[in-house]
Structure formats: C-alpha cells, structure tokens
Amino acid sequence: LKHRIVRNVPSLDPAIAAGLRAVGVATAHEAQGRSGLMDAVLRPVVPEAEVAGRAITVLVPAGDNWMIQAAVELCVPGDVLVVATISPCTDGMIGEMLAVSLRARGVVGVVIDAGCRDVRALRRMGFPIWSRAISAQGTVKASPGSINVPVVCAGVRVHPGDAVIADDDGVVVVPRAEAAAVLAASQARVAREDMLREKFARGEPSPSFEASRERLAATGIVWIDREEGDD
Amino acid sequence: LKHRIVRNVPSLDPAIAAGLRAVGVATAHEAQGRSGLMDAVLRPVVPEAEVAGRAITVLVPAGDNWMIQAAVELCVPGDVLVVATISPCTDGMIGEMLAVSLRARGVVGVVIDAGCRDVRALRRMGFPIWSRAISAQGTVKASPGSINVPVVCAGVRVHPGDAVIADDDGVVVVPRAEAAAVLAASQARVAREDMLREKFARGEPSPSFEASRERLAATGIVWIDREEGDD
Amino acid sequence: LKHRIVRNVPSLDPAIAAGLRAVGVATAHEAQGRSGLMDAVLRPVVPEAEVAGRAITVLVPAGDNWMIQAAVELCVPGDVLVVATISPCTDGMIGEMLAVSLRARGVVGVVIDAGCRDVRALRRMGFPIWSRAISAQGTVKASPGSINVPVVCAGVRVHPGDAVIADDDGVVVVPRAEAAAVLAASQARVAREDMLREKFARGEPSPSFEASRERLAATGIVWIDREEGDD
Amino acid sequence: LKHRIVRNVPSLDPAIAAGLRAVGVATAHEAQGRSGLMDAVLRPVVPEAEVAGRAITVLVPAGDNWMIQAAVELCVPGDVLVVATISPCTDGMIGEMLAVSLRARGVVGVVIDAGCRDVRALRRMGFPIWSRAISAQGTVKASPGSINVPVVCAGVRVHPGDAVIADDDGVVVVPRAEAAAVLAASQARVAREDMLREKFARGEPSPSFEASRERLAATGIVWIDREEGDD
Amino acid sequence: LKHRIVRNVPSLDPAIAAGLRAVGVATAHEAQGRSGLMDAVLRPVVPEAEVAGRAITVLVPAGDNWMIQAAVELCVPGDVLVVATISPCTDGMIGEMLAVSLRARGVVGVVIDAGCRDVRALRRMGFPIWSRAISAQGTVKASPGSINVPVVCAGVRVHPGDAVIADDDGVVVVPRAEAAAVLAASQARVAREDMLREKFARGEPSPSFEASRERLAATGIVWIDREEGDD
Amino acid sequence: LKHRIVRNVPSLDPAIAAGLRAVGVATAHEAQGRSGLMDAVLRPVVPEAEVAGRAITVLVPAGDNWMIQAAVELCVPGDVLVVATISPCTDGMIGEMLAVSLRARGVVGVVIDAGCRDVRALRRMGFPIWSRAISAQGTVKASPGSINVPVVCAGVRVHPGDAVIADDDGVVVVPRAEAAAVLAASQARVAREDMLREKFARGEPSPSFEASRERLAATGIVWIDREEGDD
C-alpha cells in the first residue's frame, strides 16, 4: 500500500455544481436516498457559506499537513478540498496561508475531518471551511499520505471527482455518476417544497400526515382528552 | 404502556409567558431554586432568540418524526414544542417545512433533544430552535410515540402545560403551578440585579462577598504576598 | 496544602500585551515553539473578541465560584482572569454581575475551564469570555480555593503574571519571562506571512513545499495519472 | 423550593424485587414498553452484579456528597440508592466507607449519575455500583440537597419507592405501581425467549421475521445475486 | 438508491481467516500499511475474544434492526457480521436471541457501530461482539436497509467478502484481494517481533532506534544533564 | 524552546514508592489536599494493577512515538513512564515491544495521555498501562519531543522525579518534595479508615455526619414524613 498522488481527476460540470449548491445539503441528501451525509461533527467556520464542487481528496497522517501543501497544485477552479486523516486529529491543519493559496487556484472551500485555524482571517476572506475543530495547533510536514485516492471522511466514502455540497446544515457527497440525477431529483423536491411551504404557511395540514392517519390509528395509539387533575 | 395523544393541555397565562421571556433563563432558573435547567448540550440555532411559552410535549422514537407531524394540530399560539426521544438521536428531525407549519399555528419555538436541519431557512424565518445537533439526516414516519405526556427532555421532567423559557443561556422549565411565583421572584431578582449592576459598574464591592469575608477566613485560607523569586 | 490568596503578581508591560494581542493566538503559539495552547474545547462567547493581558489565576472547586468573587479586588487594568477547576465542571460560574465588576477593575477578559452564563448581556457589554460551556447553572459560595497560584487550565500550566492571549482561534499562554522574545518572534513571523500572503495570492507556490519536494520523493510516494475506469 | 428529606418511602415486595432481578434489565425494559432505561453512560463497577430493589433517591449538588451521608440512615435491607446531581459531575462521590455503611443497612447497590472510587475495595466487597465515571476525586459536605424526592437520574424519572433493576446491561426503573405487572409480563417474555432460544439454537428461523417477509418485500427492497466483477 | 439484499458473497479461504486471527489486529493493521482500522470507540463485549472471518455487511436505519434479522439466513460458518447504521445510534440492536441464531449459522462474531445488549448471556455463550455501546434499548423492525452492499462502519469502508479481524485491540478490515498478501506480511512481522521480543527482554536496545540516533541529533534536540536546583 | 532530553532525574526512595503504592490513589489524593489527580479518562488496561514510582516524563507530538523509544535508556528500576502529547491523540503509541523493553529496564508501569495497543499481550505480561484509549493505530518516528521536562499529562503538572501512583481508581502525582509527608498523612488516613470501616460495618453512624447535623439543620432543610397519596 504505497502512498500515491493521483493526477487527472475527472471534471464536474460547473452547471451541476452550481445547481447542487443552490438546492443545498438537506435537499440533495434526501434526493439521493439519504446517503452520503458526513458526520454532524463537521461545522462551518464561515457562517452562511454555501459551496458545491468537485472533490480533490487528501489523506493525511494525524498532525501532519504536508499532503495538503502538496495538493494545492492539483486543484483547479471550482474544486472542494476534502481532507481525511489516518487517525483522529483536531490540530489546526489548515489556516490562512493555505487558504490564500487554495483561493488563488480557484478552490471554493475545504472540508476537513480535523481542525483549522486563523478563523478570523478566513471569515474576513470569506473562504469557507467545514471542520471538526478550531485549533491553533500547528502541524509538521514529515510523513507522506495520499492525494486523490478514495477516502473515508467524517464517515462518508469520497472518491476524487465526486460532488461535495456544504452549507450550514453540514456536508454531503454525491457520487459523480449520480450527480446529474441527484440534481434533477433535488430540483423536483425543491419545487414540491415551494408548493408545500405556501400551503403550510396558510396553516393547511401536511398531505403526507393526512395520508398516514389511518396507519397511525392502526398502531394502537389512543387519542384521549386530559381530565382535570391528571398529571 | 400504550402510546397516546392527549388533548386539552391547560393553558398558560400569556402575561406570565411574556414576563418569563423578559427575565430570561438564568434569572428564572435562580428564582426557582436552581431547578429545571436542561442540559447545556441544547444550543440555539437562531442567535439572540428569546422565547417563553406553554410546553406541548412530544415523545418520539430515535430516527422517527411522525409524532412531530402529529403534534402540529395540537398547538395554539404561544406554544413551545418540546421534543424528547426514547433513545439518543442526533438526526435532523425538524426542518423548514415543519417550522412553517408550526409558525402558522403560532408556535414560538421548538426545544428538541435531537437534531434539526434547514438552519439557514430557520434563521431567515427567525423561527428559533434549541437542539442537540444540526444534521441534515432525514427521519422516517413509521413508529408511534406520544404527545402531551410527561417526558424527560435533556435531563428535565416536562409536563404538558409547563412554562418553557429558552434563550442564549439555554432552556429552563417552570412547572405550571409555580409559574406565577417564579415570575414574581424573578422580577424581584431583576430589580436587585439592576441595583447591583450600577454599584458594580462604579467599582463597588459585592455586598455578598463582603458579608462572607469572615466565613472565608474561617476556612483557614491564607493571604500572602508574593516574594521576588517565588514561582 | 493550604489554600491561599497571593497578592503582588508581577506586572506585564502593556506594550507587550498590546503587541501579543495584535499578533494573535496562532502566531504566538507558533512563535514560542507550539507550546502553551489551551484545549480547543474553550470557545469564545463574544465573537471576534481579541485580548491579551496578565494572568490572574483562580482555582475553584467544581460548582463553587466564591474564589472568583474574591479575585475581583486583586485585578488591575489589563488583566485576564484565568479560572481553573479542581475537578471537571460545566456550571455557569461567571455571568453578567461578575463581568460588570471585573470590567470596572479594568479586566479585559476571562478564560474559564467551566461554564459561563448571561451570554446575551456579555455580548451586549462586549465583555469577552472563553469557556468550556454555556450554562445557566448557578454555583455556591461554600468552599475555598486559591488565587494567584500556578494552575493547569484546559491542559496548560499558567503562572500568575504570565501573558494570556485569546481570540477566535483559542487561548495561548506565554510565560512572563518569554513574553518579549515571543512577541519579537511573532512579529517576525507576521512580516514573513505578509510577504507570503502576497505571493500565495498571486498563485505562487509555497517556498517551503518547493524545498521539500526531494524529501517527499524520497518517502517512496508515487505520482500517477488516473486512467479511465479507475475507481 | 426548599430542600427536604422525606421519610416513610413505600416498601417494595421483596418477592417482586427478587423476580425483577432474575429477569434482568433488558427483559423488564421490553416488558414495560421500552421505557425507564437510564442512559448507557452508567456502567457497572463490579462485573456480573445483578440487583433489584426499592429506590431511595438522593439529589446532590455537583461535588458535594453530604446528602449521601445523610441518606444512609433512611435505608433498609433491599434498597437501591439512586443518586442524581443538580448539575453534571464526575467526582468520586461514593467510595468504600459509604459502601460499608450502606451494606450494613442492607442496601444492595448504588446507581449514581456521577463518579465513584475505591473500586478495588468495592470489587472485593462485591458491593455493586453503577456510575458515570470512576474518579478518586473527593467531594465536600457543604451544601444541602434532597432525599426521597422525585429526581431525574441519567435521563429517567425516579420516584422513591420505584423498583430499580441493574445488571451488566445497565439500569432500568419500574414505577412502583407497575412493578407486579411488569414482572408478570417479563416472566412471560422469559418463557417465550426460552422457547425461542431452543429453536434458534437448532437453526430454525425467527417466527417474527418470517411473518414480516411480505411487509419487507412491500418496502420495495430488492434481492439480487452478486455477479462476478461487482464491487 | 433502492435498498437491496445481495446474495453470493465471495468466500474467504478459512486458512487465511485462521491465519489472520492468529496474527491479530495490531499486526495485520501494520502489515497492510496502517489502513483499515475501525474507530477505537468499538470495544469488545466478551473479553479475550479473537476472531477473523468473511464480512457480511448490514446497513440499518438508526433504531431499527430488521435487516440484522434478515441477514441471518445469508450467513455461513466463519462469517463476521458487520453492522453499520445510516445515522448515529447506540441502541441495543443485537442481543442474545440474534446471537443464538447467528451462532447456529456458524457466525464467529459481530462488529456493530451501535449498541448491543444481553451482555451477560453473550459472555456465557462466548459469542463475541464489538460495539460502540452496551444498551438494553430495544429497536423496531419497520424500515428497510441493505445487506451485502459496501458500507462505512466505524470509519472504515467494508465490502462484503472482505476479511475482518477483531480482538482486544479493536477491529481491522483487510480487503479480500489483499488478504493473502497481508497474511504473509503479518507472519513475517510476527517472526521479526519474536526475534525482537527476545532481544528486548534481555535489555538490548531497539535496532530501529539505534539507527535513528543520527537523524534525531540532526533535529537539533539537545541532551543535557539536570543540575541541582533545576525545576 | 528547543526540545531536550534531560538526564540525572532525582531518585525516589523505594520505601516511599512502596508505601504510596500500598495506600493507593484515592488515599494519597486526599492526603495531599485533593490535588494531583489526573483526568478520569485515563483507565487501566491491566485490571487490578497497582504501581507507584518515580516519574520519567516524555512529551511527544501527536502520532509520533520516537521519544518513547528514546526514553527507554533513561529508565531505571522502579520508574513510571509518563507520556504527554503536544496535541490530542488516541493512537496506540505504545505496545508489547516497548513494554518488553521497559520491563527489562525495571519500569513498573506507563501512564499515557494517548492510546496503547497489544493489550492482550500486556495483560499476559502483567505490564500495566493507564491510557486514554486502546487503539491498534501505529505511530511514526519523525519529529522530536522532550524527555524529563515538566509536562502537563491528563490535566496534571508532572516533574521528572515526582512520585506517580496508579491503580483502578486512576492516577495521582505527588510532588517529590512532598512525597514523604504525603505518605505519612496517607498512612494516618488509612489507620483512621481501618477504625471507621469496622464501626461502619457494625452499622454505627459516621462521626463526621453526626457532627454535621446541626449545620445541616441550619441550611433550612426540612425533614418530612411522606403522606399516603404523595407523589
């Protein structure tokens, strides 16, 4: 199992990326059958950020960000850097300097199952990172890892070239081959939610709940009226 | 132990709710003898939100939000939905669609010992939720739970009809029968704190600390002056 | 091991404090050889706050804030109160009233390995606290602790008189004897980062990474081009 | 809300206690409709211990075990001491000395949502404790709490006089009024499991699963045969 | 993304399984380049258990063990059941009854990123489970999942047919195609460790450390002799 | 802040070490005023182990055990190796090979604020380790740390040469200068507990509680008799 750096990641149609960014994490997650959602421990450092792009994957040893440095030159505009660690780590593996370099390459955001730092600078730059921790702890550049190999990041398998969507709800991965279909299903879902939102705002009941009333009664649940003196 | 849905929850005087909202969580918690505070793991999703209202309680299985749907029609203006789970869960059990429905019913906020999602939409709506997690993970509508039974939510017993106060400091539950007395005690406390705040801002010492000096000395504590060369 | 309250903490040059505040936590942490960083569990309650000052240390029993009260009168302008607990605690040991008193004494911020409360008031005041938790839970004034003894706070040894820097990246402690040297090294680091930031923004590669290419190749890592059909 | 010490807790039929101890936590929890199970963070300190008895409840401040001392004289043979804390705590609130006193009173075990210590002595004595932590940290005797009031311990409401069962699977609380019915339902469940165990040991399929096959197919799930070359 | 149940998982050579069991988790993990190790949160319920076998994978919704029931009939002697959840869950998804059924099918152990129960019975049976929690909490049989699809379990990608090794050190997954090579490398490692163990037991220094002394000196590290009066 | 390896750690009287081992962690912790107790997250890997000895301290980067290797030759019989990490880490930094080497040097145990592995071998050897985690994850030998400098391990300051006691209750550090006095105070405490244990076993009340009854009544606590029908 040699460590390796892989070039020539398949590209992701920018229109699909833009579409996935617009529908957002929760909708795309539903639209692809509730799979691909990273662990909720990853939180956005820059509030209200919303990104979607092609995954460039990095696998790093705990406490070592050498491979993140090495990954910079493999990125092109629209990419999302996805950093997984070989073992658990909360060190601040990425900060302002790397963010400036990544932005210069057109990277739209970073998802890292470890820590980040320089968060005030990141917020000023508006360079979004989703991380497990905020920590000023620096890291070494001593041991190799891999770039653009399939990784597991925050509980989700990510292949280089997959679509990654991240916003205030978290991070979801859409396999490249399914990105177009997931976008279409997401947009259908958005349309339905637009319609429902209006109904719900008027106080109308949920059609799906109405349809389930019989099934609910069949569970044996009972409706009772509270009496005076009940607990 | 059949699951059940209970109607006719006793109402809460809106003036008391408004009063409790104004005094806030920390003060009411003190005023009722430091009881009723939910676990600090519940955090507000909408910054600066402050609510108080009558508890409508929901008990749901992990990963299943059917009962939250079912609870919508039992809510009236001023209510706070309190959702407890039968076993630990961080799924996003409530999101924008349910929030729109709940707001249409006049619900002022949700307290949930699980996750929520669509947080950007919630922030735009200004619909406040206090939750254990933010997660896009969807849930099923397959198994029954109960509505308006006494529950334990985030470590606190809640009866339907109790007063629930939530703000940036967390969530506190005031038993219905004690709500008026707790409000009165809270307001007295606010008045005393207004007076103390002014004194403290002028640099005056704390009367309670001054009164404790003798007791402190009696513990055997020593006051010493650091010498040059001490550690 | 008697509990004790120590007076006459050595002062910290305000110019050094101001300089350390300007360079920030991440830079000072690097500049002093990556030591002194508190556990990332401490988070700022007031966003964007940045402080540096002389440490006044307090050691308190879990659930008891008597010693924080006692510490107020030992503070002078520019101090940072550092509160460690004898055993783990998340109670809200400090809130608005103590914050008003501390501000009246010129204290610039509080670092506490426990909880704080009244966070809305703290944000309105702009009085910054870094804490392990936000909790409305009140505390007693029953058992003694110590003031201005060396403590371990969030994993870091702090002596009274040390410099403490806190910002959105966390909290770092600089031993008093090294404060001037760490400031100088930090400022050199800032200057280098200013130069690098410009280069990186233009898309230039990292000199340190360029210098490491040979070493990277020597690890046996391989560069490969992805073929069609690869996973 | 005065703190209080309540005497005259209703007794629990020793035959019911013995029966509940024999069926164990998992079975009783199922038999009462999957309620009353304490958080899994409580773990047994003495391996293989199995107890059931009447709950004597204690509510203590964090870091203060005065009320546990005070509770000793309220215990009679067969009791289980249930200790809840007012705020989170992992201190070693109970150790060998209290265990010796409690055993002299006939107490069969302790359930505590905090820490315990002297675990080697506890294991030698065979005095079982279920706790959140093992910690040598001592506690003070400074602030009051309450004895034999309803408490929430590890997420479950406990009234003095309820039946508490604890074994390697955790801790479950059975309301006093339901103890006889839960025991009967548990024993029926044990009988059914004895029958099933024999069938399963012979390799026979689960009747409940067989009965669900049609329902499973109706979910749309597909059975497929893996082909050579599939992932 | 339909849920599916896949039959015809490729078999694993029993000699390889036996070999991997003998070398153990730590050695196999090293031998395959430190990959495939599940999160340390999975702990063995039966002490000293050591198993290795072919992975049968199960993906279940939180709080629902229907698919574990369904997986029983797909198991053959030597298999290890690997259960991943769609979202985080600590419920006791597997207990004595399922263990008896699985043992009747020849299953040698279970790895589950959720909870298990009936641990005393499991210990008596000697049926080993590695789980995230011990919890008596029961689960429903309401929603589908998948069997024998690739899953991520405790941070590691597992394909049906992979080799799974589990012992007191944790759980490691060896891809099926690499199992023979990893076994060979592991055995070489065992032989070398046998030799080293003997040397180390005689007090001889580590050859690898001796070989690194020059490199260590080159880091700039200094060897100094403590003087009287040093801290 | 150069990394350094310090020789000539002051020795610890073996009779004091033996005495501290006999009194154990909980007693010594009390005897020295409840200080020096490491975080309860450190747990013993070898059950029933009890050790005390001179601290040899090691400070290592996360994921790197080079310095543990380097520390072996600095150990002499009776030592306890205390390993702190520069940032949080759960990797298995120490296993059977290092344990064999350390035992050959006479080291009696290891305290490590990270993970260990090969736990079955460690149990067979009876070589005790107190660690934060059990993990098969291997570590590199790439970056320097320090040996025999003061460290903070699991929340406690440790100087090389301090006495470290570890048993089933956890780990406590006794400063070298206080070791004799703490031992004497511990032994007095043991004698008193022997006397108390006998009294308590006979059912006699606690003298300290009896002495506190008046103080308890003064808190305003009330004793009441439960009436029929009370909750």
Give the other-Cβ count within 10 Å of F35's Cβ. 16
Contact across the interface for D1 and B39, Cβ inside 8 Å: no
**Which of B1, B88, B152 has the CB atom closest to D152's CB atom?**
B152
- Residue of chain D with shortest Cα separation from B59: D35
How far does A136 lie from chain E, in Å, by closest CA?
A: 23
What average pLDDT does the structure give for chain E?
96
E contact set with B (CB within 8 A) = 61-64, 86-91, 135, 137, 140, 142-143
- Which residue has 């990105």 as its token pair? A179
> Which phi and psi (to 5°) does residue D109 adopt?
180, 170
Residue C157 has its nearest CB partner, among F32, F87, F152, at F152
Q: What angle do CA F90, B88, C62 make, to 5 degrees?
A: 60
Chains touching E, CB cut-off 8 Å, 3+ pairs: A, B, D, F
Give the pLDDT band (50/70/90) at residue C226. confident
Does the pLDDT value for residue E231 go beyond 60? Answer: no
User: What token pair was written down for F162?
Assistant: 């301090």
Question: Tokens 């783990």 correspond to what residue?
Answer: C88
Which residue has 């009558």 as its token pair?
B54
Q: How far apart are CA F75 and CA A79, in angstroms?
A: 51
- The yes-or-no verdict on residue F81 having pLDDT over 90 is yes
Amino acid A129: pLDDT: 98
Write the residue in E100, E104, E134 that is nearest to D40 by C-beta: E134
Q: What angle do CA F193, F196, F198 make, to 5 degrees?
A: 115
In tens, the pLDDT along B10-57 reads: 999 999 999 999 999 999 999 999 999 999 999 999 999 999 999 999
Contact (Cβ atoms closer than 8 angstroms) between residue B171 and residue B164:
yes
Residue D2 pLDDT grade (very low, low, confident, very high; cuts 50, 70, 90): confident
F133: closest chain A residue by CA: A88
One-letter amino acid at F133 equals A
Asked if B142's CB is within 8 angstroms of E140's CB, the reply is: yes
Strand, coil or helix: E19: helix
- Set of chain F residues whose Cβ sits within 8 Å of the Cβ of E193: 96-97
Cβ separation of E150 and A156 shorter than 8 Å? no
Alpha carbon distance D208, E70 (integer Å):
11
Q: Name every residue whose Cβ is closer than 8 Å to that of residue D192 and which is 6 or more positions away in sequence.
A: none
Q: Which of B92, B104, B150 sits opposite A200 (nearest CB)?
A: B104
Cβ contacts of C152 on chain F, cutoff 8 Å: 152, 155-157
As a whole number, mean pLDDT of residues B109-123 equals: 98
- Asked whether the predicted pLDDT for residue C1 surpasses 70, the reply is no
SS3 for chain B, per residue? CCCEEEECCCCCCHHHHHHHHHHHHHHHHHHCCCCCECCCCCEECCCCCCEEEEEEEEEECCCECHHHHHHHHHCCCCEEEEEEECCCCCCEEECHHHHHHHHHCCCCEEEEEEEECCHHHHHHHCCCEEEEEECCCCCECCCCCEECCCEEECCEEECCCCEEEEECCEEEEECHHHHHHHHHHHHHHHHHHHHHHHHHHCCCCCHHHHHHHHHHHHCCCEEEECCCCCC
| % of chain D beyond a pLDDT of 70 | 98
The confidence band for E1, taking pLDDT boundaries of 50, 70 and 90, is: low
Q: Which two tokens stand for residue D101?
A: 């006193």
How far is CA F167 from each of CA F10, F26, F28, F31, rounded to the nearest angstrom? 24, 9, 12, 16
Pick from E91, A193, A50, E87: nearest CA to B137: E87
Looking at residue E70, its amino acid is A
Determine whether the interchain pair C61/D61 forms a contact, defined as Cβ–Cβ distance below 8 Å. Answer: no
Q: Report CA Rg, chain B.
A: 21
Per the listing, tokens 């008046």 go with: F214
Neighbours of B218 (CB within 10 A): 10
Average pLDDT, chain D: 96
User: Cβ B66–A169 below 8 Å, yes or no?
Assistant: no
Mean of the pLDDT values across residues A112-123? 98
pLDDT at A228: 66
- Listing DSSP states for chain A in one string gives ---EEEE-PPP--HHHHHHHHHH-HHHHHHHTTS--BPPTT-EESSTT--EEEEEEEEEE-TTB-HHHHHHGGG--TTEEEEEEESS---SEEE-HHHHHHHHHTT--EEEEEEEE--HHHHHHHT--EEEEEE-----B--S--EESS-EEETTEEE-TT-EEEEETTEEEEE-GGGHHHHHHHHHHHHHHHHHHHHHHHTTPPPHHHHHHHHHHHHTT-EEEEPPTT--
Q: For residue B84, give the nearest of B156, B25, B29 by alpha carbon.
A: B156
The per-residue pLDDT for range C162-220, each reduced to its tens digit, is 999 999 999 999 999 999 999 999 999 999 999 999 999 999 999 999 999 999 999 99
DSSP secondary-structure letter at F33?
A: T
Chains in contact with D via at least 3 Cβ–Cβ pairs below 8 Å? B, C, E, F
**b or e along A14-29 (b: 16 or more beta carbons within 10 Å of the residue's beta carbon)?**
eebbebbbebbbbbbb
How far is F91 from F76, CA to CA, in rounded Å?
26
Q: In the prediction, which pLDDT does D190 show?
A: 98
Structure letter (DSSP) for residue D65: -
Nearest neighbour of C63 by CB, restricted to D87, D135, D137 = D87
Average pLDDT estimate for D68-92: 98
Give per-residue pLDDT as tens, C89-104: 999 999 999 999 999 9
What is the rounded CA–CA span in Å between residue A18 and residue F6? 58
Q: Which of E68, E63, B39, E91 is nearest to D170 (CA)?
A: E91
Q: Residue D155: closest CA among chain B residues belongs to which residue?
A: B155
Cα of first residue to Cα of last residue in chain A, in angstroms, is: 64
What is the C-alpha separation between C3 and B222, in angstroms, rounded?
A: 7
Mean per-residue pLDDT for B148-171? 98
H or E stretch covering D19: helix D14-31
Residues of B with CB under 8 A from a CB of D: 1-2, 32-35, 37, 39, 86-88, 150, 152, 155-157
**Which residues of B lie inside 8 Å of C (Cβ-Cβ)?**
24-26, 29-30, 34, 37, 40, 43, 48, 50, 167-170, 172, 193, 196-197, 200-203, 205-206, 208-209, 212, 216, 219-226, 231
Q: Note the pLDDT of residue B230.
A: 61
pLDDT band at B88 (very low <50, low <70, confident <90, very high): very high
Q: Are β-strands E51-60 and E79-85 bridged in parallel, bridged antiparallel, or unpaired?
A: parallel
How far, in Å, are A67, A74, A81, A144, F120 from residue C212 at the CA level?
A: 11, 17, 21, 11, 41
Q: In the prediction, which pLDDT does F231 show?
A: 55
Number of Cβ pairs closer than 8 Å across B and C?
A: 115
How far is Cα D167 from Cα E122, in angstroms, rounded to an integer? 13
Per the DSSP assignment, residues forming a β-bridge with D224 are: E6
Please name the amino acid found at residue F198: E
- At B226, is the pLDDT very low, low, confident or very high (cuts 50, 70, 90)? confident
Q: pLDDT-based confidence at D228, cuts 50/70/90? A: low
Q: How far is CA E42 from CA D42, E90, E220, F120, in A?
A: 17, 11, 40, 16
Q: What confidence score (pLDDT) does residue B1 get?
A: 60
- Report the pLDDT averaged over residues B156-163: 98
Q: How confident is the model at residue B231 (pLDDT cuts 50, 70, 90)?
A: low
Judge whether residue D90 has pLDDT over 60.
yes
Distance from CA of F40 to the nearest CA of C (A): 10
pLDDT of residue F97 exceeding 90, the answer is yes
Contact E135 D203 (CB under 8 A): no
User: Pick from B32, B37, B152: which is nearest to D1 by CB?
Assistant: B32
Q: What's the pLDDT tens digit per position in F169-221?
A: 999 999 999 999 999 999 999 999 999 999 999 999 999 999 999 999 999 99
By CA distance, what is F86's nearest residue in A?
Answer: A137
Spell out which chain A residues touch chain B, with contact meaning CB-CB distance below 8 angstroms: 24-26, 29-30, 34, 37, 40, 43, 48, 50, 167-170, 172, 193, 196-197, 200-203, 205-206, 208-209, 212, 216, 219-226, 231
A36–chain E nearest CA distance, Å: 9
Q: Which residue of C has its CA nearest to F31?
A: C1
Which pLDDT belongs to residue A226? Answer: 84
Query: Nearest residue of E to residue A142 by CA position?
Result: E219
Confidence at D230, pLDDT banded by 50, 70, 90: low
Dihedral in degrees, nearest 10, Cα atoms F42, F173, C143, B36 = 0
Residue B101 CA to residue B105 CA, distance in Å, equals 7
> What percentage of chain D exceeds 90 in pLDDT?
97
Helices (H) and strands (E) in chain D, counts: 6, 13
Q: What is this structure's pTM?
A: 0.97
Quick: pLDDT tens for D178-220. 999 999 999 999 999 999 999 999 999 999 999 999 999 999 9
Contact: F86, C34; criterion CB under 8 Å: yes
Instruction: Find, in chain F, the residue whose alpha carbon is nearest to that of C150.
Output: F157
Q: Residue C47: closest CA among chain B residues belongs to which residue?
A: B47
Distance CA C177, CA C12 (A): 10
Q: For residue range F3-19, list pLDDT tens digits in order.
A: 999 999 999 999 999 99
pLDDT for A1 equals 59
Which residues in chain F touch residue E206, judged by CB atoms under 8 angstroms apart?
Answer: 69, 72, 97, 101
pLDDT band with cut points at 50, 70 and 90 for residue E230: low
Q: Is the pLDDT of residue C231 over 60?
A: no
The answer to whether D18 and D165 have CB atoms below 8 angstroms apart is no
Contacting residues for F55 by C-beta, under 8 A, at least 6 apart: F79, F80, F82, F158, F159, F160, F161, F162, F163, F164, F173
pLDDT of residue F47: 92
ipTM attached to this prediction: 0.95
Closest-CA residue in chain F for C59?
Answer: F35
Mutate to test the interface with D, among F168, F173, F198, F213 (most CBs of D within 10 A): F168
With 90 as the cut, is the pLDDT of residue C227 above it?
no
B/F Cβ contact: 3+ pairs below 8 Å: no
Residue D226: pLDDT above 90?
A: no
What contacts D7, CB < 8 A, 6 or more positions away?
D74, D148, F223, F224, F225, F226
The verdict on a CB contact (< 8 Å) between A87 and F63 is yes
C and E touching (3 or more beta-carbon pairs closer than 8 Å): no
Put simply, the answer to whether B137 touches E87 (Cβ < 8 Å) is yes
